Amino acid sequence: MTARLDFGGVELTRIVEAEGPLLRPAEIFPDSTPEAIQANLDWLAPRFYDPVSDRLVISIQSFLLKSHGRLILVDTCVGDCKARVRADFDQQHWGWLDRLEATGVRPEDIDVVVSTHLHVDHVGWHTRRVDGAWVPTFPNARYLFTHEEWAYWKEHEGHPGLVRTGDYVGDSVLPVFEAGLADLVDMDHRIDEAIRLVPAPGHTPGHVAVEIQGERQRVLLTGDAFHHPLQCCYPQWSTRFCADPDHARRTRQSLLEACANDGTLVLPAHFPAPTAGHIRRAAPEDEHEFRFEFQELL
């Protein structure tokens, strides 16, 4: 499951690990109500919500960028063969690495790995199991982590996020540091002349978006600032996974305003296919201020 876009100077490939009904609305959005889901059922079902299981459709995916002769991988999904508390993630065999290699890219070809933040479904393929040990999957890459994000997670023993999910920092992040492949960077770090990080805190303290300035279009990979298109209608809905729900709310509102004003193409980490789209201001008669308009990828 891959799809490509060429922005002029930067080519993006969407590499999906899994996509389907995963989380009940109330499980991820504490402020959601059955009435809100029913009020939006005409566009939610079945593409974004499965009424039978009462679960939102979620994509877990990575974005592979080819820019100025380098390969940059943004987020690395859940990973294979890892012990996780959530049954959906526990000891899975997704085939994500096969999909990456099907694009003609080998793990050793990756130059940079960007973590928008350190949650279980964004760092899993940072490592893989070799001879009984977790080792970096991309041996020639520099793995970028923001200072703020690492400061939040490095004292990971007993961290509530890890109690909830399993110790993914221990098996998917620490081995990268131990191998000497980790670089701590500022939240506005520039990777090359076309790609830079953009601070988007709240979901986690060091959460970042990734901006691509192509020759034809500005693009923003928004990470977990948005988890589902519902949050464009209800920007006040932060997730139960947010470290600072109020800050996440402010960040989301700011992104909605900015992207609606300038026409930026937005790719949130978890929106189902085709993922890419634009933030549009809704019609005056609409009860919501914004909506998400999808754009098909090649």
CB-based contact 67:275 (threshold 8 Å): no
pLDDT number for residue 156: 66
| CA distance linking residue 264 with residue 222, whole number of Å | 11
pLDDT number for residue 264: 96
| pTM for this model (two decimals) | 0.96
Tokens of 40: 């939006």
CB-based contact 251:237 (threshold 8 Å): no
Query: Which of the residues in the chain have pLDDT under 70?
Result: 1-2, 156, 297-298
pLDDT number for residue 35: 97
> What separation in angstroms does the CA of 92 have from each of 176, 192, 244?
21, 35, 30
Q: Give pLDDT tens digits for 134-181.
A: 999 999 999 999 999 999 998 867 788 888 899 999 999 999 999 999
DSSP classification of residue 170: I
| CA distance linking residue 210 with residue 225, whole number of Å | 11
pLDDT number for residue 34: 97
pLDDT number for residue 200: 98
pLDDT number for residue 123: 98
Strand extents, DSSP E, the chain: 2-6, 10-23, 49-50, 55-67, 70-74, 112-114, 127-130, 133-136, 142-146, 182-185, 195-199, 208-213, 218-223, 265-268, 277-281, 290-294
Superfamily of domain 2-294: Ribonuclease Z/Hydroxyacylglutathione hydrolase-like (3.60.15.10)
Strand extents, DSSP E, 98-217: 112-114, 127-130, 133-136, 142-146, 182-185, 195-199, 208-213
CA angle (232 as vertex; 242, 47 as ends), nearest 5: 100
In 12-61, which ranges are continuous DSSP H helix?
25-28, 34-39, 41-44
Q: How many CA atoms lie within 13 A of 259 on its CB side?
A: 31
Residues 114, 115, 121, 126, CA torsion sign: positive
pLDDT number for residue 272: 96
